[in-house]
Structure 1
Amino acid sequence: MSAIREEMPVLTRHEGDWVGTYTVVDTEGKIVDKYESHLTCQFPEDGSHSYYQINRYKWSDGKHEEYEFPGTYRDKALWFDTERIDGKAWEVDDATVILWFSYKTVPDMYLYEMIVISPCNNHRARTWHWFKNHQLFKRTLIQEERLR
């Protein structure tokens, strides 16, 4: 586990719990969905996974969803291969992680996510650019802060 902490120091700064809001917009900027989130980012000490993330979402109408994302570290990148997604995350500078992933059930769709963490490590700004047949069709704007 120390290799991921040493070789992906920006990702390591995301360890902990994050709460925020996801706002989904179409290509014209119209809001098409909005919901609250609570994410947990972990580096399990037991060696079961290099990285483990739990995403919890809650809508105002009471709907809720939860997903788990175990990750494997290799080649200075974090790789995801779950029943839902294939993906890869890598660092690009001292504040930014890029994530590419696709849903296994929708092979012609993928997204790129940019995750920027503040210097104090307590705020994150994330954007998802969604593509279908290589054409942008929506964006997700995410603002989060560390849960204390």
Structure 2
Amino acid sequence: MENIREEMPVLARHEGDWVGTYTLIDCDGNVLDRHRSHLTCSFPTDDPTKYYQINRYTWDNGKQEEHQFPGAYCDKKLWFDTERIKGHAWEVDDSTVILWFAYKSVPDFYLYEMIQISPCNNHRARTWHWFKQDKIYQRTLIQEERLNSTI
């Protein structure tokens, strides 16, 4: 039986709660948006192929959003297929996960995310590269720290 924790050990290091800041910029480096984040990454104990993530966002003006991302492991990739997105993630080395996804409501759009976790497992740097009709049009820069570090 496939086991996501064993076969994607870099992803397994992301388990827990993460807080940080998302900064969205255009191709000229102009800031388009900035907001705080709190993500929870978990591996349900009842199924070794499952993954579950909750993303919570908060803006200074009081706006809040929450999105849930259940995933399933198969063939050395984590697969997502929700009402909102479709995509998959895979490991490329001892500290990097790459995620490709598309919003189902936006045609001719996709995004690549590179997720770097520090050797101590308490810091993450993430970048999103947004594409429309195969042309990059913006980036998101994300800096996060593990909440309640136990490592």
TM-score, structure 1 normalization: 0.97
8 Å contact from structure 1 (residues 49, 70) kept in 2: no
Q: Deviations over 1:7-40 (max 9, x none)?
A: 1000000000000000000000000000000000
* Structure 1 moving runs of 4+ over 3 Å: none
Partner secondary structure for residue 6 of structure 1? helix
TM superposition shift of 1:2: 6.6
Q: Which residue of 1 aligns with 2:120?
A: 120
Q: Deviations over 1:114-142 (max 9, x none)?
A: 00000000000000000001000000000
Partner secondary structure for residue 33 of structure 1? strand
Q: Which whole-Å CA distance do the structure 2 matches of 1:87 and 1:57 have between them? A: 21
For 1:64-75, list aligned pairs within 5 A.
Answer: 64-75=64-75
Specify every segment of 5 or more residues in structure 2 that has no aligned partner in the other structure, as ranges: none
For 1:64-143, list aligned pairs within 5 A.
Answer: 64-143=64-143
Specify every segment of 5 or more residues in structure 1 that has no aligned partner in the other structure, as ranges: none
TM superposition shift of 1:49: 6.4
TM-score, structure 2 normalization: 0.95
RMSD: 1.3
Corresponding letter in the other structure for 2:109: M
Going from structure 1 to structure 2, the CA distance change for 1:71 and 1:84 (only over 3 Å counts) comes to same
